[in-house]
DNA sequence: GCAACAGTTTGACGCTCGTCAAACACTATG
DNA sequence: CATAGTGTTTGACGAGCGTCAAACTGTTGC
């Protein structure tokens, strides 16, 4: 039997652009996106994501928003959940968008308003 | 003397990615973006923007959000205001982002969840 | 000057959002 | 079975958002 399952998420053609932009229009979720940009799977622990200042239930809420928007996928394995970016799905649905975002976001961290 | 002026807007280096995504994460403002994608100047009248169902003060509010996020610029000429996209500024700050958005948004209108 | 015009501002309303805390499920381990 | 670990769900709270209506500012034109 399959040892792991995935949490519910929209099918690729059902990913809505405005919903994705709304999901990414929050500083915490943008930081999560950058964490996931390495293509690897990440646990949900706030300390693994540079979010020690946030309650675990808050992080769980943000990850749900990203998943329901179609940005991430969550694999359930035992008592752990592994979250990763739906890179190919997003590239299929919105070509160039993810690349532009992942280029722009770290660049802004060095040269932008917050620097 | 200059016959027209511009409403306050952030300088190009001060345009914040998360703020832009937040501004665009609303269906009304996404529609405005698509209207402005032709590069031309547009008036603020709801009927010129496919927003007859919205009050003019609501449209004014959305245009303020877009302008303060750095997405649009507003030129004041007499009793009219002409709004247009800050395309080169956005391309400078976030290369490829606007192209990806303007490619993705209309495509979704034909093949996406709403179709 | 006065009325019409284009758009903004203010105030109000309901709804959503981000956050925390506590309680809850489920899994792994003794 | 009991306990600890990982993460979710629920409820609460304040803050912000989208909308409308009305009042307001400034401009054009009679």
Architecture of domain B4-100: Orthogonal Bundle (1.10)
Residue A39 CA to residue B103 CA, distance in Å, equals: 24
Does the beta carbon of B110 lie under 8 angstroms from any beta carbon of chain A? no
**In which residue are the tokens 């603020």 written?**
B44
In this structure, is the dihedral angle defined by the CA atoms of residues B26, B100, A28 and A60, taken in order, positive or negative? Answer: positive
* Residue B43 approaches strand C within 7 Å at CB: yes
Contact A42, A51 (CB under 8 A): no
- Model confidence over B63-86: pLDDT tens digits? 999 999 999 999 999 999 999 999
Q: Does residue A56 lie within 7 Å of nucleic acid chain D, judged by its CB?
A: yes
Looking at CATH, the fold of the domain delimited by A15-86 is given as Arc Repressor Mutant, subunit A (1.10.10)
Q: Which tens digit of pLDDT belongs to each residue from A67-91?
A: 999 999 999 999 999 999 999 999 9
Pairwise CA distance, residues B81 & A43, whole Å: 50
pLDDT digits (tens, 9 = 90+) for B23-70: 999 999 999 999 999 999 999 987 778 888 999 999 999 999 999 999
The pLDDT value recorded for residue A50 is 82
**Smallest Cα distance from A99 to chain B, Å:** 8
Question: Token digits for A24?
Answer: 């990414």
Pairing of strands A80-85, B4-6: unpaired
Q: Where are the domains of chain B?
A: 4-100
Strand C and A53 CB separated by under 7 Å: yes
* Å separating the CA of residue B2 from the C1' of nucleotide C1: 28
Half-sphere exposure of B47 (CA within 13 A, CB side): 0
Instruction: Report how far residue B100's alpha carbon sits from residue B90's, in angstroms, rounded to the nearest whole number.
Output: 12
Contact A108 B16 (CB under 8 A): yes
pLDDT-derived band at A52, boundaries 50, 70, 90: confident
């Amino acid at each position: 039997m399959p040892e792991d399952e995935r949490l519910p998420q929209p099918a690729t053609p059902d990913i809505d652009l405005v919903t994705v932009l709304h999901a990414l229009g929050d500083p915490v979720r943008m930081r999560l996106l950058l964490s996931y940009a390495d293509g690897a799977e990440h646990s949900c622990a706030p300390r693994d994501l540079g979010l020690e200042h946030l309650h675990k239930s808050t992080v769980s809420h943000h990850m749900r928003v990203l998943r329901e928007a179609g940005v991430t996928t969550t694999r359930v394995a035992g008592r752990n959940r592994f979250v990763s970016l739906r890179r190919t799905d997003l590239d299929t649905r919105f070509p160039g968008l993810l690349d532009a975002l992942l280029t722009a976001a770290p660049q802004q961290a060095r040269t932008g308003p917050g620097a």
